[in-house]
Structure 1
Amino acid sequence: MSDLPETVERCQTPRGEMQLQCRGSHYEIISNGTFLMATYQGDSEKALVRSALERVQCPRNLLIGGLGVGFSLAEALTDRRVEHVTVVEIEPDIVRWNRDVLAPFSNHALKDPRVHLVQADFIDWMEHTKNTFDLICLDIDNGPDWTVVDKNRRLYTEQGIRHLKSLLRPQGILSVWSASLSRRFVNCLEKFFEVKLESVPHFKGQHDWIYLARKSETAE
């Protein structure tokens, strides 16, 4: 993108500063000075969901960790088999932006009656929920090896993966987005799942990565 960014809004949160920036006709979200996401590059966020949906026979109940700019949620809602989507997002400002200036980019996905939005820290929420899911899609921070919020590292440890596995139904898929390839994380996933990797090129000539992990039919 060649346009210089303009700050639309700057918000202070318990996790630091969030910024919404406008770049031409598009928007970027910045956390503590680090780029998180933008409306002009959603291919990998859509692939996070689409590639997982292709691997699940009856994906009725989905969990999405991280709302972002709404691309992953919008992709989930294009599948008629999907009956319910729980979205967990910690930042109220991101939710508000998705209901406002970002809404057209996701086709106003938050208005879909299949969507249940939970404003909470994903780690805290997953440790207390009793629900299980056919598909879990995580787009939390920038992935296993590049976390802006220190607490998010717990998601990518053996303990975090074990807990995520407990929320999956048999033959369910855990799909994880990352800005880089982490062999350490792959090795960790392979202790619990059958794992596949997908790379998605983006406009900078680099690749984002999708980790696709399947729970066995009989695993607890």
Structure 2
Amino acid sequence: MSLNYKELDFQQTPLGELMLRRRRLLQLGGLEIYEVKLGEDFLMSSLFHEAESQLSSLGLGVLKRKELDVVVGGLGLGYTAVAALEDRRVTSLVVVEFLEAVIQWHQNGLVPLGRTLTQDPRCRLVHADFFALSQDVSKNFDPADPHKKHDAILLDIDHTPTRVLHQTNTRFYSEQGLRELAQHLKPGGVFALWADGFPEASFTRQLAGVFATAESHTITFENPITGGSSEGAVYVAQTTP
């Protein structure tokens, strides 16, 4: 195996073939990056994580509270969760991940941020279906305290609200699905969502029909592969105080 490329893990999952690989980009001076593929889809790369980090910064930034109970939907390479833990107001963080293999990467130190998450006592990684938990309003996302409400729910799973990893996820982005999600939040709680590309005005309007406030942000970041820039979207919606 070349020193410039290594397949770290390959597993069959309910969503398809999942691969974690590490590459060195010679055109960027041998920069080491980690990439995740699901089937033929590139899910994420450590080279591009600004929008995922901004998801936490923007979502938690609107809350004026001394302590925060936070849920992150989707673990991935861990950038959203680590950015949340950098906010010292966060007293508990539950990260819900559907693919058990992704949790194992972090527990086994296969990805750079794994130890940061697994060694922080505020953080717990939960193997579960975020969308199924959101639909069940009889209990919450935290298995240790199923009736607790949360200050913020940060979601980073699908590519966009209209380009999902599995067709069953589409229901979550409907008015009914969003209203169910809102019931898991404390008064004045925040739901924030990452998506690829520019924000979709239609989805911002849909959020505004469910939440007291809703806005979208365009996150622009450098793309060293193309020499230009790329975009990500962060939506932030807040319930009535």
TM exceeding 0.5: yes
> Which residue in the other structure is 1:147 paired with?
164
Q: Which secondary structure state, in structure 1, belongs to the residue aligned with residue 12 of structure 2?
A: strand
| Distance in 1 (alpha carbons) for counterparts of 2:113 and 2:123 | 17
Cα RMSD, aligned residues only: 1.8
1:203-214 maps to which residues of 2 (within 5 A)? 203-204=222-223, 205-214=229-238
User: Which of 44, 49, 59 is residue 56 of structure 2 equivalent to?
Assistant: 49
Larger Rg: 2
Q: Which amino acid is 2:233 matched to?
A: W
Quote how far apart the aligned CAs of 1:43 are.
0.8
Alignment match, 1:21: 21
- For residues 183 and 5 of structure 1, do their structure 2 counterparts lie closer, same or farther at Cα, with a shift above 3 Å needed? farther
**Matched pairs, number:** 214
CA contact (8 A) 2:204 2:215 kept: no
Question: Post-superposition, which runs of at least 4 consecutive aligned residues in structure 1 deviate over 6 A?
Answer: none
Q: Where does residue 206 of structure 2 map in the other structure? A: 188
Q: Contact 2:105 / 2:114 at 8 angstroms: preserved in 1? A: no
Alignment-mate amino acid for residue 47 of structure 1: Q
TM norm structure 2: 0.83
Contact 1:145 1:182 in 2 (8 A): no
Change in Cα spacing, 1:198 to 1:5, as seen in structure 2 (3 Å) is farther
Check conservation: 1:74, 1:106, Cα contact below 8 A: no
**Which position in structure 2 is the counterpart of 1:74?**
82
SS of the residue 2:222 aligns to: coil
Q: Which residue does the alignment assign to 1:200? A: 219
Q: Deviations over 1:102-129 (max 9, x none)?
A: 1x33662122111122101111122242
Q: CA deviation at 1:196?
A: 1.3
Stretch moving more, 18-27 or 88-97: 18-27
Q: Secondary structure at the match of 2:90?
A: coil
CA 167–215 in structure 1, closer or farther in 2 if over 3 Å, else same:
same
Task: For structure 2, list consecutive stretches of 5 or more residues without a partner in the other structure.
Answer: 25-31, 141-146, 224-228
| Structure 1: gaps spanning 5 or more residues | none
- Give me the whole-angstrom Cα distance separating, in 2, the residues matched to 1:124 and 1:4: 40
The TM-score normalised by the length of structure 1 is 0.90
| Whole-angstrom CA distance in 2 between matches of 1:125 and 1:70 | 20
Q: 1:51 to 1:110 in 2, by over 3 A?
A: same
In percent, how many aligned pairs have the same letter? 29
Q: Which residue of 2 aligns with 1:90?
A: 98
1:80 CA displacement:
1.3
What is the CA distance between 1:21 and its match in structure 2?
A: 1.9
Q: Deviations over 1:164-220 (max 9, x none)?
A: 111111111110000032223212111012111111113342210000001111xxx
Match status 1:8 vs 2:17: no
Q: CA deviation at 1:131?
A: 2.8
Counterparts of 1:199 and 1:106, CA distance in 2: 28
